[in-house]
Amino acid sequence: MTTMTEASVREFKMPDVGEGLTEAEILKWYVQVGDTVTDGQVVCEVETAKAAVELPIPYDGVVRSLHFPEGTTVDVGTSIIAVDVSGGAAPAEAPAPAAAPAAAPAPAAQDEPAEPQGRQPVLVGYGVAASSTKRRPRKGAEAPAAKVQAAVQGELNGHAPVAPAAPVLGRPLAKPPVRKLAKDLGVDLATVVPTGPDGIITREDVHRAAAPQAEAPAPAAAPAPVAAPAPAPAASYDTARETRIPVKGVRKMTAQAMVGSAFTAPHVTEFITVDVTRTMKLVDELKRAPEVYGMQGLRVNPLLLIAKALLVAIKRNPDVNASWDEANQEIVLKRYVNLGIAAATPRGLIVPNIKDAHDKTLPQLAEALGELVSTAREGKTSPAAMQGGTVTITNVGVFGVDTGTPILNPGESAILAVGAIKLQPWVHKGKVKPRQVTTLALSFDHRLVDGELGSKVLADLAAVLEQPKRLITWA
């Protein structure tokens, strides 16, 4: 039987997406053990903290092993599937994916053939990683790392520290989140003693290095023994009437981003209630005669005209389109608008954006908006489509909600909440009449946008929706 250590077996690792992500969940396998695969064939779908994407295999061959079952979260750089590129048959009794161990498989043999040179990226929104996040131990570094780990463990257990026989040379081993933590805490990784497997620095190692060292106390009599505190009672849950849902993937990233935004950017929200009867009449006219306006085959709805009206308001008040550079303490004014559209999907809230929306005609904007929404509903939005947004619209009106106080998408200057459009009694030309009315709410970062500027943007937006002819005269 051919063994997994032979050079003919290639290990395909969870790709490094190059955007600071360190793990992904395997949602679905499209192949099984024994299947023949070709270069570029999609073998599985995974969900990162930003999107669900399909992974193509870069080899021709026969699937020898699926290392993880569906639903498993795997670190970037960990092998997830083995392919026999020699064309040999699969073993008679190959393990099923569901029986795969939860732990990562052993690393491939050191003589595993190198990746083909000059390979082009095959994953949309990603790139071919130059190196894996999880590295093999360096030759000759295993023994010193083990001694260092033993020394640290001994010190933690109350024993005198033992100096390692030789220093650990080379670049310290640590995963990207740990490196970022060290940078934030001002810790030089070269000075940190690793306790992780194979000499990898852990988060606890960084926190330990960052903690202030207590001064050595003078010799004194042994203190009186202190009674250990009673352990806290274990939390109990009513499992018959409660359901726990793990927060991961897009939902986890969204939760972290919203907390970071809410407690970093000083939010201000302003509201305006506006008569949009004329805008709704224009929507109906565009639907009835699409060929007259070049809207054939395009979806026309109130959100389309609201988006166009917001772009006009931004053009009249360009300083609202900015971002805050914390490192340099600068405001970055942007001469382009990447218009984000908040979309609710089965995997959670995502905010893809229409690139260079300010340059698009109404038909072009309608086409881009339709593609964005359909792609989001299918769960195929790429990470690149969610990067670089400047201003966002969230349409809470589709749920019958009048308005809300939206939280800024991180890194953006403003977000507009659009409420439900309803027939309401309204004073029109001196008489109370039923009119189509909605309430708009604009939240903005008060470091970038003061009250005057925010008010002007909201007032201009309302003015365009009241009199949509201003789309022509103001644009």
Given this model, what pLDDT does residue 265 score?
74
Percent of the chain with pLDDT over 70: 72
Task: Please report the beta strands in 381-421, taking only residues with DSSP state E, as ranges in sequence order.
Answer: 391-395, 414-418
Which of 172, 183, 171, 170 minimizes the C-alpha distance to 20? 183
Supply the angle between the helices 277-288 and 302-316 in degrees, to the nearest 10.
120
Give the whole-angstrom CA distance, residue 219 versus residue 196: 34
Query: For residues 162 and 209, which has the higher predicted lDDT (pLDDT)?
Result: 209
Given this model, what pLDDT does residue 235 score?
59
CB 80 within 8 A of CB 97: no
Given this model, what pLDDT does residue 231 score?
61
Positions annotated as catalytic residues are: 446
What is the CATH superfamily name and number for domain 249-473? Chloramphenicol acetyltransferase-like domain (3.30.559.10)
Which of 192, 188, 150 minimizes the C-alpha distance to 168? 192
Give the whole-angstrom CA distance, residue 31 versus residue 40: 13
Q: Is residue 217 scored above 90 in pLDDT?
A: no
pLDDT band at 247 (very low <50, low <70, confident <90, very high): confident
Give the whole-angstrom CA distance, residue 444 versus residue 454: 7
Output 185-191 pairs: Cβ under 8 A, ≥24 positions apart.
185/210, 186/210
> Among 49-53, 72-76, 112-116, 415-419, where is mean pLDDT lowest?
112-116
Given this model, what pLDDT does residue 428 score?
94
The DSSP-derived string for 188-251 is -GGGPPP-SGGGEEPHHHHHHHHSPPPPPPPP-PPPPP-PPPPPPPPP---TTT-------HHH
The class level of CATH for 1-134 reads mainly beta
CB 460 within 8 A of CB 314: no
Given this model, what pLDDT does residue 25 score?
86
Given this model, what pLDDT does residue 17 score?
55
Q: Is residue 174 scored above 50 in pLDDT?
A: yes
Given this model, what pLDDT does residue 264 score?
74
pLDDT band at 118 (very low <50, low <70, confident <90, very high): very low
pLDDT digits (tens, 9 = 90+) for 277-300: 999 999 999 999 999 999 999 999
pLDDT digits (tens, 9 = 90+) for 12-50: 998 865 455 678 888 899 999 999 999 889 999 888 766
Given this model, what pLDDT does residue 126 score?
35
Per-residue pLDDT, averaged over 354-371, amounts to 96
Q: Is residue 116 scored above 60 in pLDDT?
A: no
Arch. (CATH architecture) of 142-209: Irregular (4.10)
Q: Do 1-134 and 249-473 have matching folds?
A: no
pLDDT band at 141 (very low <50, low <70, confident <90, very high): very low
What average pLDDT is seen over the chain?
78
What is the reported pTM? 0.56
Helix, strand and coil percent figures for the chain, each rounded to 5:
30, 20, 50
* Domain locations in the chain as residue ranges: 1-134, 142-209, 249-473
Q: Is residue 155 scored above 90 in pLDDT?
A: no
Given this model, what pLDDT does residue 225 score?
60
Give the whole-angstrom CA distance, residue 97 versus residue 387: 34
Per-residue pLDDT, averaged over 191-216, amounts to 77
Query: For residues 193 and 302, which has the higher predicted lDDT (pLDDT)?
Result: 302
Given this model, what pLDDT does residue 441 score?
97
Give the whole-angstrom CA distance, residue 457 versus residue 451: 10
